Every structure is written in C-alpha cells, then in structure tokens.
Structure 1
Amino acid sequence: MPTAVKQEKEDNAIKRSNSSLNFKKLVPKVLRSSSMKNPFKSKKPRTPLDVVRETRALLVYLDSGEDAANPKHDEKLELLDADIRELKSILYGIDESEPVPEACAQLTQEFFKEDTMRLLINCLPKLNFEARKDASRVIANLQRQPVQSRLIASDYLEANLDIMDQLIAGYEDPVVALHYGGMLRECIRHQVVARYVLKPEHVKKFFDYIQLPNFDVASDAAATFKELMTRHKSTVAEFLAENYTWFFAEFNSKLLESTNYMTRRHAVKLLGDILLDRSNAGSMIRYVSSKDNMRVLMNLLRESHKSIQIDAFHVFKLFVANQNKPADIVNILCANRTKLLRFLTGFNMDKEDEMFEADKAQVMKEIMELEPTTSFSCSGELFKPISV
C-alpha cells in the first residue's frame, strides 16, 4: 500500500476517535444511557390488559387518600386521565374506526376481575370534569360488553350490590349526581340490580330526588326512576303487588299533586306507562277502583297544560273502562256527567289522532250510559272543568 494512502487512513481513524471522545464529553450521561441506543425505535403498544392494570394501580393510589402529600400527585392524576381516555377509546373506537371485539372482551374481563369499578366510582369526585365524563361512559359501556356471550358485569354487580347504595346517594351531591345517575341507569339493565334497587328504602328516596331544586338533577332522577319502573316487567309487577299501598299513596301525593309542573308531567306519563303495562294488570285494577285516585286524575284533567291533560286522560279512561267499577266511582261519574261530557267534547289533540278520538268517543259513551246506584248523592260532584 502506498505510504500516502496508508497515512490518510490513519489520520481518518484518529479523527473518528476524537469525534467520539468529544461527543461523550459534551453529551450528558443520562442521554447516553442504554435507552438512547436507538432513539427512533418505536415504543411497544400497550394491550388493554396493561391499560386496565395501570388504571387500577393509579386508582388504588388515589383512593388511599395520600395524594395531598405526594409531590407527583398531579402527574399521576394526568396519567390516570389519559388511561381512562384510552379505555374509552378501546370500547367506543376512535373517530370512524370501530372498536375491536377481542380488545373489548379482554378489557372487560380484566376490569371485572378485581374491584376496578368500585375504585373508579369512589375516585370519581377527585377527577376533573372531562375525566368524570369519560369514566361514566366507560362504566356504562362495560354493562353491555359480552364476554363469551355472557354479561360478566351482571355477575360482578350481583356480588357487589352495595355499590348501588353509593350511586343512588350520588343524587345528593350535585358534583357527581348526573354521572352517578347515568351509571345507575346502565346498571339497572341487569335484573339482579333492578331487584335490589326496587326495595322500599331505595325507591322512597326517588320521590324526594325527583323534587330536588336543581332541575338537571331532578330530571335525571326522574329518568332513572322511569327506567327502574319500566324495564324489568316481572320484577316491577312483583314490587308493586307487595308495596302497592304506600307506593301509590306517595306517588299521588308527592308526584302527581306536586306544585312543580315538570314533576307532575313526568309523573302522570309514567303512571300511564305503569298501569297500561299488562304485567301490572293486578295493580292497575286496584288503582282504578279507588275514588281518591280518580279524584287526583280528574284534577289533572283540569290542568292548563295540554300535555298533562292528555296523559291524564289516558289514565282517566281506565277508570271509566273498568267493567267492575265500585259504586262510589259510578256515582261520582254520574254526578259529574254533564261537566265531563262538555269538557270532553271540546278536548282535542293539537294534531289529528284517530286513536285518541276513538278512545274519547268510547269514554263519552260509557259515561252517558252509566246509571247511578241506590246510594247516589250529588255530593259526589267533583269535576270543575276549565276551558280547553
């Protein structure tokens, strides 16, 4: 090899060596760690199991109550927010991409393997508003996620029904009321949960929650109450049969006779849904055999709000259609015959409705054909119609 070429190679080798030495001197040691060997190497994607496990660990930390003294509290909270957001993305998909069933099943199984749901509910007040919304959506979605054709959320909740106590009581805290309410409605999808919530000590709370001064919270409570009283028909029928007396006494006095328009409106619509359901036929017959109940409905017919009048009519017609009307109800209808017929003649829907007109015609026919009993007294006159 020529001497000039050999010398040039040796000079280049020295330059490379010096360059390496200079780099080591100038670059901090932390940047020369093993993790920086390939800065362009992609990070291994996390599995749904990884996300759930990290979420659970962060929730355990947050639930421990040690957060105030931890200097990394904000960092952990941000990480938890990101994890909850990622859980939502897996379950709902991102943008236009559909969720992957296998990933959803893995996530669901891991989520209910331990007490992650309870932890998330406990920690909800400590999360920011967006994270609370995401957490609520995650829990709602998980109630509907099948794992090998089985809703394992139902099994988990059956073993942890006391969680429902916390969700119900959430209506007393405006910060979490709407979030807890939404989760509670989704949990009521499971019959085992509905049966637990349909206990007197729980149901009685809803009569108060529906009348809360906060309109949004009261409306949400009314939506949950409707879901509870209409979804699982056999369970509701059993509850009404066992609790008929106190339930309808409170329903009438606290809801149908409430001074709040929206409370009355929701209540009379729900009453119709309950009584017109065939599963509740026994309770319906008992309800329409009471003159006190009929008095409440006749007063609702006199409402100035058309929507309440129409829903009240659909319940009132059951009293008239009852083929075994008690004598006191027959007498009251007879005593109010003229006023009722005059009212019904001018009572029309805003839009033409053939079924409504047929029902109204049948009610008027029944009232016209009634004969008072021997104990008939004009003291039965109750109906004082207003203009319609």
Structure 2
Amino acid sequence: MSFSFFKPRPKTPQELAKVIKDSLMALDTRTVVEVKALEKALEEVEKNFVSMRGMLSGDGETEPNVDQVLQLALEICKEDVLALFIHKLPILGWEARKDLVHCWSILLKQKADSTYCCVQYLENHSELLDFLVVCYDNKEIALNCGNMLRECIKFPTLAKYILESPSFELFFKYVELPNFDVASDAFSTFKDLLTKHGTAVSEYLISHYDEFFSQYEKLLTSPNYVTRRQSLKLLGEFLLEPPNSHVMKRYILEVQYLKVMMTLLKDSSKNIQISAFHIFKVFVANPNKPREIKVILAKNHEKLLELIHNLSVSKGSEDEQFDEEKELIIKEIERVSRLPNLVH
C-alpha cells in the first residue's frame, strides 16, 4: 500500500532554521569549478526560503501561526542565520533574494518579552549593517540591500548606529552613482536616515556638523540636476524640523551656505529656485544676522530682488502664503541694503 499521497510533516521552526542554516553553510564548501554542485546548493537554499516565507506570511490559504513566526525569528538569531542571510546575499539567486527581502521585514518586527529579537541581534552584530551599506557597490544586490537597510532604519538604535558609522559617508558617493536605479535607491535610504528619527539625527548633526555640511554642499552644487534637486529638497525637510533648530541656527550664520542658496536661486530649474527660496528666506529673516551676511545681501540686493520678484509657485493654497513670504523677504533685503556702513 502506498502512502505517497500524504504530505510530509511540516517542519518545526527549529528544524526549518537548521535546514536554512545548513543550506547556506553548504555554499561555503562549493567552488566555482563545481558549477553543478553550486547550482544544487542554491536550489536547496531557494526551496528552504520558500518554506520560510510560507511559515512567516502564510501560503494564501492559511494564515501564519503567530507563535511559529516568533519561534522561527528566535531560532534564526540563536543559530546566527541572520548573519548568513547578509553574508550570502551576493551568491544567492534572484528568487531567493526576493524571498529573503520579503521575510526580512517580518523577522525584524518579531518581539519577545518587549524586545525585538532580530533588531537586538543586529545591535550586537552591527558590522552586518555596515556590510549592507557597502553592498550598494554591487549593483546586482544593491536594491535588495537598500530594501533591507530601510527596514533596519525604522528602528532608532539601528538608524543611530548607521548615522554614526564611518560607512554613512559612503552615501555621499552612492547617491551620485552612474546607475540611476541604484543612485535613487541609495538616496531613499539616505533620506530615511536623515528624517525618520529626529533626536538621533539632531545629535548626529550637532556632533558632525562641519564634515556633514561640507560634504552636503557638494551635493547641492552637483552638476547632476537630480542630485541638486533631491538634496536641496531633503535639506529643507530635515533642517526645518523642530529637533534641528540648533543646527539650523548655526547653518544660517554661514556665508558660504548663503552663497550656495543664492546660486541655486539662479538655477535654470524653477523647482530648484523655489526650494532654494525656502531655505534662503531663513537666512534673510534671521533677526540675528551677522554682519557678513548683511554685507552679502546688501551688495547683491538688486539681483536678489529681481530673482525673488520673478519667483512664483503654481496657483493653489500655497500661492497666497508664498506671496506673503516673498513680500517680507523683499522688504528685509531692501531694509538691509539701506543700512549705513555695509557696502563701500
């Protein structure tokens, strides 16, 4: 009598974590020469990832078992499978990487006794986060790593680590990579790092003010239109956030950054002009403008007034407020230009 029509017993979370680990470890023992062996090992990983995805998010007919999902996350951390996921990512096939990215976000959300177990694992193995950042250099897996990084950045401790790591500086290079998709993805991650957690961002900007803004100035003056536009818009977003008020107060005292905004006010793109105006107006409206700033405004007042007069936003609710702001800034520039002893 044949029992072949019976389904095999589903694996427990412990068993699944073990077979996933074994199949990923097996990739170590293959050499490029053994193409068939490597293909077989990759197939095994792919099959196990399908099982993992089924356990974590259900199979379309049955919902995932909450206890099993948590148990699998705990086992994956206990067995160091989380590290293997990251280190083996460059070797994996397209389907396996797709399944891994899907499972990654579910695993990070698993909580045992008020602790996110996978997040805690990454806190204790922070070099894995640096590895994910450096993967932007590999365009085959850059978008997968970008997705995984953005899931990590949702958690303040992981975002703070990346901000303060030397690998964070790589983003200034990655956002200008020649591959548009990779550069755009890197910019999305860069943006999340600078906007998701106000307190961590503020602390980072205060302690790394000079090096950060000198690097950022290169993005604002990039010959690449997309880089200029995106970085200017992002600057407005994080600089004008309440937690960054100390940083903004320091920024608007700097003559070199005022000059950058004045250059951007002359950009051929209307979008860039408008975004530049929203930062430029803070320099002008500052009641405690240093003498150097006043001198620049006074010397260039005719050109500035002409540029600002010609600025307009598309008709809508913002239109009225924008016109009011324009009027205030025009009046302030005119007032500064009449101050004695500024321009010789």
The DSSP-based 3-state class of the residue aligned with 2:278 is helix
CA contact (8 A) 2:206 2:247 kept: yes
CA contact (8 A) 1:63 1:122 kept: no
- From 219, 225, 228, the equivalent of 1:264 is 228
Q: Is residue 336 of structure 1 aligned with residue 300 of structure 2? A: yes
CA contact (8 A) 2:30 2:38 kept: no
Q: Percent identity?
A: 38
Kindly state the Cα deviation for residue 157 of structure 1 after the two structures are TM-superposed.
0.9
In the other structure, the counterpart of 2:328 is: 362
In the other structure, the counterpart of 1:312 is: 276
Query: Are the structure 2 counterparts of residues 201 and 43 from structure 1 closer, same or farther at C-alpha, using a change threshold of 3 Å?
Result: closer
CA contact (8 A) 1:63 1:119 kept: no
Runs of 5+ unmatched residues, structure 1: 1-35, 379-388
In the other structure, the counterpart of 1:202 is: 167
Q: Is residue 42 of structure 1 aligned with residue 3 of structure 2? A: no
Kindly state the Cα deviation for residue 57 of structure 1 after the two structures are TM-superposed.
1.2
> Given residue 117 of structure 2, which amino acid in structure 1 is its aligned partner?
I
In the other structure, the counterpart of 1:159 is: 124
In the other structure, the counterpart of 1:327 is: 291
Structure 1, 84-93 or 110-119: larger mean CA deviation: 84-93
Query: Are the structure 2 counterparts of residues 338 and 139 from structure 1 closer, same or farther at C-alpha, using a change threshold of 3 Å?
Result: same
CA contact (8 A) 1:108 1:147 kept: no
In the other structure, the counterpart of 2:41 is: 76
Query: Are the structure 2 counterparts of residues 135 and 42 from structure 1 closer, same or farther at C-alpha, using a change threshold of 3 Å?
Result: closer
CA contact (8 A) 2:264 2:272 kept: yes
Query: Are the structure 2 counterparts of residues 241 and 39 from structure 1 closer, same or farther at C-alpha, using a change threshold of 3 Å?
Result: closer
CA contact (8 A) 1:294 1:316 kept: yes
Kindly state the Cα deviation for residue 98 of structure 1 after the two structures are TM-superposed.
4.7
Q: Is residue 236 of structure 1 aligned with residue 201 of structure 2? A: yes
CA contact (8 A) 1:268 1:312 kept: yes
Query: Are the structure 2 counterparts of residues 373 and 358 from structure 1 closer, same or farther at C-alpha, using a change threshold of 3 Å?
Result: closer
The DSSP-based 3-state class of the residue aligned with 1:377 is coil
Q: Is residue 108 of structure 1 aligned with residue 73 of structure 2? A: yes
In the other structure, the counterpart of 2:260 is: 296
Aligned residues: 342
Structure 1, 103-112 or 58-67: larger mean CA deviation: 58-67
Query: Are the structure 2 counterparts of residues 355 and 107 from structure 1 closer, same or farther at C-alpha, using a change threshold of 3 Å?
Result: farther
TM-score using structure 2 length:
0.91
> Considering only aligned residues, what root-mean-square deviation do their CA atoms show, in Å?
2.3
Pairwise mapping of residues 1-388 of structure 1 onto structure 2 (< 5 A)? 37-65=2-30, 68-69=33-34, 72-95=37-60, 98-199=63-164, 201-252=166-217, 254-352=218-316, 353=318, 354-370=320-336, 372-377=338-343
> Given residue 244 of structure 1, which amino acid in structure 2 is its aligned partner?
Y
The DSSP-based 3-state class of the residue aligned with 1:331 is helix
CA contact (8 A) 1:61 1:67 kept: no
- Measured against aligned partners, the alpha-carbon deviations of 1:81-113 in whole angstroms (never above 9, x if no partner) come to 122123223333444765442332122122212
Kindly state the Cα deviation for residue 163 of structure 1 after the two structures are TM-superposed.
0.7
Query: Are the structure 2 counterparts of residues 311 and 101 from structure 1 closer, same or farther at C-alpha, using a change threshold of 3 Å?
Result: farther
CA contact (8 A) 1:63 1:123 kept: no
Query: Are the structure 2 counterparts of residues 356 and 119 from structure 1 closer, same or farther at C-alpha, using a change threshold of 3 Å?
Result: same
Kindly state the Cα deviation for residue 71 of structure 1 after the two structures are TM-superposed.
5.6
Kindly state the Cα deviation for residue 325 of structure 1 after the two structures are TM-superposed.
0.5
Query: Are the structure 2 counterparts of residues 147 and 139 from structure 1 closer, same or farther at C-alpha, using a change threshold of 3 Å?
Result: same
Distance 2:47 2:321 in 1: 53
Kindly state the Cα deviation for residue 372 of structure 1 after the two structures are TM-superposed.
4.9
Query: Are the structure 2 counterparts of residues 95 and 310 from structure 1 closer, same or farther at C-alpha, using a change threshold of 3 Å?
Result: farther
Query: Are the structure 2 counterparts of residues 62 and 307 from structure 1 closer, same or farther at C-alpha, using a change threshold of 3 Å?
Result: same
Kindly state the Cα deviation for residue 284 of structure 1 after the two structures are TM-superposed.
0.7
CA contact (8 A) 1:90 1:103 kept: yes
CA contact (8 A) 2:30 2:37 kept: no
